[in-house]
């Protein structure tokens, strides 16, 4: 397959995913979200766990904060993921749109590393 055809196929798939994402309905609705909720951003205090690192805080679909509890994310043991989702009280895996939301979140994360790599390549050698 040629590079242009691969690029065209990928961009067409990306455009379809973008359109689908904009049409998604989020069962938990929109609200203030942490946008990076995972075990490394949870600190235990005397009164329980609290989330830290609120740099990405925004208004968004509440399901986004549950991505870390998914069965194939962050390589946490299944029992820990299940406890996280059970404690939250909503099983994201029961929502048919979760794979697309997971993929979007992972692409967003990868984008930050790509930007950093490009910046390091553009700097003159010191």
pLDDT bin (cut points 50, 70, 90) of residue 1 is very low
Residue 74 vs residues 4, 13, 54: alpha-carbon distances, Å? 33, 25, 19
Length, in residues, of the chain: 126
- Tell me what pLDDT residue 27 has: 95
At 39-66, the pLDDT tens digits run: 788 899 999 889 999 998 999 999 998 8
Q: Which domains does the chain have, with CATH numbers?
A: 28-122 (1.10.510)
Q: Using a cut of 0.75, tell me whether the model's pTM lies above it.
A: no
Q: Reply yes or no on whether the pLDDT at 3 is more than 80.
A: no
Contact indicator for 33, 58 with CB cutoff of 8 Å? yes
At 27-39, the pLDDT tens digits run: 999 999 998 887 7
- Tell me what pLDDT residue 58 has: 94
- Which one has a higher pLDDT value, 11 or 107? 107
> What are φ and ψ of residue 25, in 5° steps?
-110, 130
- Tell me what pLDDT residue 81 has: 73
How far is it, in rounded angstroms, from Cα 69 to Cα 32? Answer: 18
Strands (E), 1-126: 30-33, 42-45, 48-51, 58-61
- Which one has a higher pLDDT value, 45 or 80? 45
At 82-102, the pLDDT tens digits run: 777 788 889 888 899 988 888
């Amino acid at each position: 397959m040629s590079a242009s055809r691969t690029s065209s196929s990928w961009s067409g798939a990306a455009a379809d995913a973008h359109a689908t994402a904009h049409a998604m309905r989020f069962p938990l609705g929109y609200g203030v979200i942490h946008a990076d909720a995972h075990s490394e951003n949870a600190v235990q205090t005397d009164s329980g766990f609290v989330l830290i690192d609120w740099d990405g805080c925004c208004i968004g679909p509440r399901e986004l904060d549950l991505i870390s509890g998914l069965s194939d994310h962050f390589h946490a043991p299944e029992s820990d993921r299940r406890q996280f989702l059970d404690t939250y009280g909503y099983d994201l895996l029961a929502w048919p749109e979760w794979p697309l939301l997971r993929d979007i979140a992972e692409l967003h994360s990868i984008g930050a590393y790509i930007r950093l790599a490009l910046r390091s390549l553009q700097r003159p050698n010191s």
